[in-house]
Structure 1
């Protein structure tokens, strides 16, 4: 027992140094364990899993595990049961995005300092608005001025009065008169054109073609002047074939004088050619040159009216075929008739490629009665209905169903009335 005392005293003397060496090793280990414990608690509070909470050694491995602190065993037991072994330990931020807070839909109120007035933002007026307003006024004025100029051109020729005269004097051709007036209104509305207006009045004998030509010449002479209306009758101006050259020179001189005078006065002349069916092919070729678009300006501003009996056979057949059902007034039938007549005229001579065709149809017996009434009143006879019926029976008619169409129209009306003297 006395021998052991010195050894025990030596062991007691060496104990403080050993304790110092153990504390130097365990202090950092305990700090790391505290940090890990805090990390696991924070991770649990935020709702994340604990898959990576265990060290790489697993539950059975003693390496890398921190000894439990006081009061730590009860809190870590459920975590250890649910946790899965992880390959490594990390302090990186979680990859799951945190939940975003909803922004309040209420806008924050703007707080103004006390003692100040609230002013709305000042709206600065742009000077460009005044320029835009001025430009709009100028454009509207130009459009209004252009419309007024078109109206002035139409009023200069008094087309309203012409339309009334044609509808009063010409019987049985309302569609033809409407087509003629529409073409004249569109062309005479302006003074600048790229080609002349060529009107071709075609139809059987006695349906009012020559009457329309005379009414046009009379009207334009009254609103313009005699120097701006040219009437050319083929059987009167060029009756034989031997004088074709002289006929061409006469026609060229008359047309040139007419268009030059009209260009100086800034007006559109009217040139009427009647009895075109008797015109020689060479004279038709010469006349076709004036209808081309590649001419000087004065020859482009002119209205040509061609009156002939070309296409009368096709018009008669078409009327007799469709006249019984009253289908002639339908727009589709009018277009079909126009196509038939135009095809026939183009085959006869290429001059009609440049013309607007206006077909005149056969006259019914009621229209012939109107012709007799007009002529008898003009000659001073009393318009007796029985007398008119008797005179109309002397003419020849085509019978189609319950309708009767005059063979020669109103051609014999004047001669029949003259016999009454």
Structure 2
């Protein structure tokens, strides 16, 4: 070594100084570049070999060569690790990403297989005790409702409205719709004993159509089913004529209403108060009577039935019937909302006492109804007429003629006087 160093030193000294400096700088860089290039080539070869071996191992594992391939795989991985450790001892470069193949798990769910010697059973439905409680509760509610309906029927039976209906339809002619409306209102109100306001019924219509007759039949019926002291019948022209003292009329009316209501409250019954000829009642009496129709008064005054009978609104009813005679609405005129609105407006304009009342309009009577009135009156007086005689008697009255219909101007008012002339 000493001989070579001595022989090379004169050669180095012979080279220029600049060239010696460049060679000392570039030669290490070239050596490092060549080494790095060789390392990358070796690394790429090993990565390709690993990928091919892994693919071969996967294919062999699917064909049943599991153990042999696992050992091969381990050997290949150990080789790769040795080569990498050798290169890592001298150089550290960027890591090349290695692609790994992932196995995808099958998304299909495995079917549950039952043994062939067993039977399949559905899950048992457990009976809930809440169903029995619900069934018992429904039975209790049913009996309560049934008892409530029975109590309502008992209250109505006490007033015998079925008998009242038979009497009214037998005695009053041509007012079937008005009678049905009247009975429906009475039935709904008399079903209970506790109310928040009294029932006020207003029977309105032309002369002789049966309003006063209905009032007398109501008074007679309630005297029979209740008692004499629970029916109050007030005729305006008889109890308080225009020339009478108004103070005494007010005191008499107040005393009569208070005594009757107090007795009815003690007996737990609903009294009936009938006021006929209301078109002749003076304004102070109307104002006083209106106070009993309010809801802000003692309980005993809330449980009462007031019947107001008058000829007020007869012009509106007559006009409506004659205008609708040809359209066939006469039979249902008492239920017409248009007629009720017209009559209610006319009555409220005269006095506000009718704002608290349920209007029951009585319509005009046809000629056939007048013949029924003659037959009833003549049978009562002992006559036995035939149809020709009834036609002659009914022809003596005045009628409104609209097409084929004839409506009596005064109803059955003069039937009694005509029958008396036959004696």
TM-score (structure 1 length as normaliser): 0.76
**Alpha-carbon separation, structure 2, partners of 1:327 and 1:163:** 24
Residue 41 of structure 1 deviates from its aligned partner by: 4.1
The counterpart of 1:89, out of the listed 97, 112, 128, is: 97
Find out whether 1:308 has 2:313 as its counterpart: no
Looking at structure 1, the residues matched to 374 and 199 of structure 2 have their Cα atoms a distance apart, in angstroms, of 34
CA contact under 8 A between 1:327 and 1:333: conserved in structure 2?
no
Cα pair 1:203 1:310 within 8 Å, conserved: yes
Aligned to 1:416, which of 410, 415, 418? 418
**Which position in structure 2 is the counterpart of 1:62?**
none
Cα distance in 2 for partners of 1:31, 1:325 equals 111
Partners of 1:128 and 1:109 lie apart in 2 by 36
| Within-5 A mapping of 1:20-35 | 34-35=49-50
Cα deviations by residue, 1:114-158 (Å, 9 ceiling, x for unpaired): xxx999877665444443332222111101100111111111111
Q: Does 1:392 align with 2:394?
A: yes
Query: Which one of 240, 243, 246 corresponds to residue 245 of structure 2?
Result: 243
Could you list the per-position Cα deviations for residues 337-371 of structure 1 after superposition, in whole angstroms to 9, with x for gaps in the alignment? Answer: 11111110011111111100011111111110000
Name the SS for the 1:395 alignment partner: coil
Distance 1:191 1:332, change over 3 A: closer
Aligned length: 350
Distance 1:372 1:190 in 2: 40
Structure 2: how far apart are the matches of 1:274 and 1:170? 17
- 1:4 aligns with none
- Residue 218 of structure 1, aligned match among 212, 217, 220: 220
Whole-angstrom distance in 1 between the partners of 2:115 and 2:123: 14
SS at match of 2:326: coil
What's the CA shift string for 1:171-200, capped at 9, x where partnerless? 111111111111111111111111111000
> Deviation per CA, 1:25-78, whole angstroms, max 9, x where unpaired?
9xx9797665332234468999xxxxxxxxxxxxxxxxxxx9xxxxxxxxxxxx
Aligned match for 1:145, one of 128, 140, 147: 147
1:39 matched to 2:54: yes
Structure 1 residues 212 and 89 mapped into 2: Cα distance closer, same or farther (>3 Å)?
same
Moved more, 121-130 or 155-164: 121-130
Aligned residue runs from structure 1 range 227-306, under 5 A: 227-306=229-308
RMSD of aligned C-alpha atoms? 3.0
Q: In the alignment, does 2:191 pair up with 1:189?
A: yes
SS of equivalent to 1:326? coil
Give the conservation status (yes or no) of the 8 Å contact 1:364–1:403.
Answer: yes
Partners of 1:335 and 1:37 lie apart in 2 by 99
Cα gap change, 1:119/1:44 in structure 2, threshold over 3 Å: closer, same or farther? Answer: closer
Instruction: Tell whether the 8 Å contact from 1:272 to 1:306 is kept in structure 2 after alignment.
Output: yes
Q: 2:104 corresponds to which residue?
A: 98
CA contact (8 A) 2:178 2:334 kept: no
Indicate yes or no: 2:353 matched with 1:351: yes
2:114 to 83, 86, 109: 109
TM-score (norm 2): 0.76
Q: CA offset at residue 330 of structure 1?
A: 4.5
**Consecutive unaligned residues in structure 2, runs of 5 or more:** 1-38, 62-79, 81-94
